[in-house]
Amino acid sequence: MSRRALVLGVTGQDGSYLAEFLLAKGYEVHGVVRRTSLSNTLRIDHLGDRLTLHYGDLSDGVSLRSIVTNVRPDEVYNLAAHSHVPASFRQPVYASLIDAVGVMTILETMRDERPGAKFYQASSSEMFGQVCETPQDENTVFHPRSPYGCAKVFGHWQTRNYREAYGMFACSGILFNHESERRGEGFVTRKITRAATRIKEGLQQKVALGNLDAARDWGYAPEYVEAMWLMLQQPVADGFVIATGETHTVREFAQEAFGLVGLDWQQHVVFDAACLRPAEVATLCGNAAKAKRVLGWEARTKFKDLVRIMVEADWRLAKQEKVIAGMQ
């Protein structure tokens, strides 16, 4: 009998790649989606009826309990989150409800209904915030600088607490920034690649960015979902940093992306103070040595290759937009 996985946040970047990965491994995959007036399943529509979807929400414990009871998963991956850091400053209560209390809700549900199932919690490098050391590993002290980061710390520690208090197989992956052609357009990397390609095709003129000196450890999302799965295949539950170990600034990302389409980024990028966070996180760089040693995992896609993958996908999209707009 195939193993059964439940993926919360299945319609997101990571959720869609994880669903594909698990299906390729022979899993029976179930996903949780929020009911909305508009369809939000674009990233997983190609999977068709290979994926079973259930309506639920981390803020609704009744729906989660019903799903877990009926599905009876062997593995649960919590990738659902209010995941946009700047937006968490505008909706701090909602971010805390989903990213903090929501984690406890699913953990309590599993403790009651599926205590023997394995659990993965998507923790975040934003928990480190104002870092006390570089690079950051599993023992680095947290100093979050956003409502999102604070909420993720809560979820991270609750995951560890349920592991230690109740003996649950509960893991946390402290994932550093990971991008792809499926990244939401509100995130700075995708904002840049969309803008660069649309500007090249004459569909827009400028793009507004904030802190160009912010430095991040950027990896490729499909590789990171493999690390999630590997954590749940270990004999003992634990937490792991997942990162490339390389840091690049937003300025470097813009320079590389615009350069790939033959444009000078400085001619098209404008500063917008509205894009700045109330509390900035200057530099994040992860040390994934433990993941390499225990999981046998390491990042394979380099920075320039990541940017190229995203630019090529968005350039195809921009050219399609141009045709639809009757400009070609």
Q: What is the CATH number of the domain that holds 320?
A: 3.90.25.10
Contact (Cβ atoms closer than 8 angstroms) between residue 208 and residue 277 = no
For residues 80 and 106, state if they share a domain. yes
Answer yes or no: is 108 within a domain.
yes
For residues 274 and 255, state if they share a domain. yes
Q: Find the mean pLDDT for residues 239-248.
A: 98
Q: What is the pLDDT of residues 163-176, one digit of tens each?
A: 999 999 999 999 99
Answer yes or no: is 153 within a domain.
yes
For residues 123 and 267, state if they share a domain. no
Strand partners, 207: 269
The pTM (predicted TM-score) of the whole model is: 0.95
Tokens of residue 134, six digits? 């570089």
What single letter denotes the amino acid at residue 29? V
- Across the chain, mean pLDDT equals 95
Lowest mean pLDDT among 15-29, 250-264, 266-280: 266-280
Active-site residues: which are they?
124, 126, 148
For residues 141 and 275, state if they share a domain. no
Helix (H) or strand (E) holding 252: helix 250-260
100 vs 175: CA distance, rounded Å = 17
Query: Residues of 36-45 as b/e, b for ≥16 C-beta within 10 angstroms?
Result: eeeeeeebbe
Contact (Cβ atoms closer than 8 angstroms) between residue 227 and residue 166 = no
Contact (Cβ atoms closer than 8 angstroms) between residue 127 and residue 81 = no
For residues 99 and 142, state if they share a domain. yes
Answer yes or no: is 290 within a domain.
no
Answer yes or no: is 289 within a domain.
no
For residues 64 and 147, state if they share a domain. yes
For residues 104 and 150, state if they share a domain. yes
Range of the domain at 120: 4-179+220-242
Which residues have C-beta within 8 Å of that of residue 37, sequence separation ≥ 6?
none
What single letter denotes the amino acid at residue 298? E
Domain count of the fold of the chain = 2
Tokens of residue 239, six digits? 């937490």
For residues 212 and 227, state if they share a domain. no
Q: What is the pLDDT of residues 7-46, one digit of tens each?
A: 999 999 999 999 999 999 999 999 999 887 677 899 999 9
Neighbours of 26 (CB within 10 A): 9
Contact (Cβ atoms closer than 8 angstroms) between residue 74 and residue 5 = yes
For residues 175 and 160, state if they share a domain. yes
For residues 160 and 74, state if they share a domain. yes
Answer yes or no: is 296 within a domain.
no
Bridge-based pairing of strands 215-216 and 248-249 is antiparallel
